């Protein structure tokens, strides 16, 4: 056999080429096989983005449902606490029901420092009399002045906004927008002149002269406490220069019934067929009631239990007026 011997220089060149291939693994790729990069291909990126989008679409409705359920639970618990305070007020005041909007000077309210709110003008309160007239500060001692129970969920930010104002302004604003409005026209009385002569409960008003005393004043008068609505999810407008002319807020100190009397339709809700409820409506159109919980409102009843009612349920006047005996009941004029 003839052996071919390479010259020394060629041997060194061959060894050098071999060593360089070992030191660079990329050179060891088999011929005909393209080198693959470390990144994703366009197809893989599209698949990943599609999977992420699908997962977000599945999860978001579930997360929203959890948040809404949490809001309902928080407000329902607040309603139960409010009813405990409401009954405590009645027990402390010889069975009398809380007046929803009191006449000027009829009652006093005190803050947590035992300062009379009627004298809070020096603290910057723009209207101490109306602050006292609305129910929140008169009921506050019976829920330990914890206004977080009145200002639930998104309204909590509104309460913090009020607290950043001067103290007198905080007293005034915190009396306007509680999450739950009081059924004051039928329970305890509502002496607010803005309701009009045919609706407020002032003894000198036309309503009192025509209908007599149509509102319940004591706990012992209540016929069906398990059916009678006391507090309800409410909404209104922010007050600007003393008038409700600002943006809509999911809170208000008063709610009004769908019907009132056979003499006037002032304040009555529209027929559901003509004008169904929707969140874009002016709050006063549906008596400041808010169906913010998937078309339902949190309602606290006189016996202390709490439920969720829809628009049809809330149109039943037996839930509003102690003397109502059928769903479409109206107050009848007291004519001799």
Q: What is the pLDDT of residue 29?
A: 47
Q: Which of 260, 254, 200, 257 has its CA nearest to residue 231?
A: 254
Tell me whether residue 215 is in a domain: yes
Question: Residue 96: beta bridge partners?
Answer: 218
Q: What's phi and psi for 191, nearest 5 deg?
A: -100, 20
Sequence-ordered list of residues with C-beta below 8 angstroms from that of 87, at least 6 positions apart, any chain: 219, 304
Contacts of 80 (CB under 8 A, 6+ apart): 300, 304, 306
Label residue 74 exposed, middle or buried (CB < 10 Å: 0-12, 13-18, 19+). Answer: middle
DSSP annotation of 179: S
| Residue 246 belongs to a domain | yes
Q: What is the pLDDT of residue 68?
A: 73
pLDDT value, residue 12: 53
Per-residue pLDDT of the chain (336 residues; tens, 9 = 90+): 445 454 555 545 555 544 555 455 544 444 445 555 556 788 888 888 888 888 877 777 766 677 778 889 999 999 999 999 999 999 999 999 999 999 888 899 999 999 999 999 999 999 999 999 999 999 999 999 999 889 988 888 888 888 888 999 999 999 999 999 999 999 999 988 777 666 667 777 777 778 888 899 999 999 999 999 999 999 999 877 667 778 999 999 999 999 988 777 767 899 988 888 987 889 999 999 999 999 999 999 999 999 999 999 999 999 999 999 999 999 887 555
Query: Residue 54 domain-assigned?
Result: no
Residue 188: name the closest of 205, 200, 173 by CA.
200
Q: Which pLDDT value is given to residue 2?
A: 45
What pLDDT is attached to residue 63? 65
Report the pLDDT value the prediction gives residue 91, as an integer from 0 to 100: 97
19 within a domain of the structure (yes/no): no
Check the CA dihedral 318-236-142-109 and report its sign. negative
How many domains does the structure of the chain reveal? Answer: 1
**Residue whose token pair is 């959890």:** 66
User: Rounded to an integer, what distance in angstroms lies between the CA atom of residue 328 and that of residue 272?
Assistant: 13
pLDDT at residue number 208: 75
Q: Is 93 helix (H, G, I), strand (E, B) or coil?
A: coil
pLDDT at 158: 86
The answer as to whether 85 is a domain residue is: yes
Determine the structural domain holding residue 84 and report its residue range. 67-319
DSSP β-ladder status, 296-301 and 306-310: antiparallel
Has residue 23 been placed in a domain? no
Question: What is the C-alpha to C-alpha distance for residues 194 and 144, in angstroms, rounded to an integer?
Answer: 30
Joined together, the tokens standing for residue 268 give 């009555």
Residue 8 placed within a domain: no
- Dist. CA 303–CA 44, nearest whole Å: 62
Residue 300, φ and ψ in degrees, nearest 5 = -105, 130
Burial of 98 (0-12, 13-18, 19+ CB in 10 A): buried
17-26: pLDDT as tens digits: 445 554 555 4
Helices (H), 24-153: 42-92, 128-133, 135-139
Q: Running DSSP on this structure, what letter comes out for residue 297?
A: E
DSSP assigned state of 302: T
Tell me the backbone φ, ψ of residue 297, rounded to 5 degrees. -115, 145
Residue at 185 is within a domain: yes
The predicted pLDDT at position 59 comes to 73
Asked if residue 312 lies in contact with residue 189, where contact means CB atoms within 8 angstroms, the answer is no
């Amino acid at each position: 056999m003839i052996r071919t011997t390479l010259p020394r220089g060629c041997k060194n060149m061959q060894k050098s080429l071999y060593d360089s291939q070992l030191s660079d693994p990329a050179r060891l790729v088999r011929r005909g096989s393209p080198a693959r990069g470390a990144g994703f291909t366009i197809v893989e990126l599209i698949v990943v983005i599609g999977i992420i989008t699908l997962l977000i679409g599945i999860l978001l409705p579930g997360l929203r449902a959890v948040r809404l359920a949490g809001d309902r639970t928080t407000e329902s618990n607040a309603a139960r606490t409010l009813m405990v305070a409401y009954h405590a007020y009645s027990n402390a005041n010889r069975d009398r029901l809380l007046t929803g909007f009191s006449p000027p000077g009829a009652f006093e309210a005190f803050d947590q420092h035992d300062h009379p709110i009627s004298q809070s003008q020096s603290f910057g309160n723009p209207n101490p009399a109306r602050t006292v007239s609305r129910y929140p500060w008169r009921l506050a001692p019976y829920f330990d002045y914890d206004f977080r129970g009145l200002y639930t969920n998104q309204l909590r930010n509104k309460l913090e906004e009020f607290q950043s104002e001067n103290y007198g302004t905080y007293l005034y604003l915190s009396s306007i927008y509680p999450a739950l409005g009081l059924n004051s026209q039928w329970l305890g009385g509502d002496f607010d002149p803005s309701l009009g002569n045919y609706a407020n409960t002032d003894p000198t008003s036309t309503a009192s002269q025509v209908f007599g005393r149509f509102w319940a004043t004591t706990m012992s008068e209540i016929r069906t406490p398990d059916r009678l609505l006391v507090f309800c999810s409410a909404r209104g407008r922010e007050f600007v220069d003393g008038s409700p002319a600002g943006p809509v807020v999911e809170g208000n100190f008063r709610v009004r019934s769908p019907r009132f009397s056979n003499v006037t339709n002032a304040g009555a809700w529209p027929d559901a067929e003509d004008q169904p409820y929707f969140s874009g409506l002016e709050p006063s159109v549906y008596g400041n009631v808010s169906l913010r919980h998937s078309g339902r409102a949190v309602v606290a009843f006189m016996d202390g239990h709490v439920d969720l009612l829809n628009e049809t349920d809330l149109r039943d006047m037996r839930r509003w007026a102690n003397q109502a005996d059928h769903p479409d009941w109206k107050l009848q004029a007291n004519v001799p």
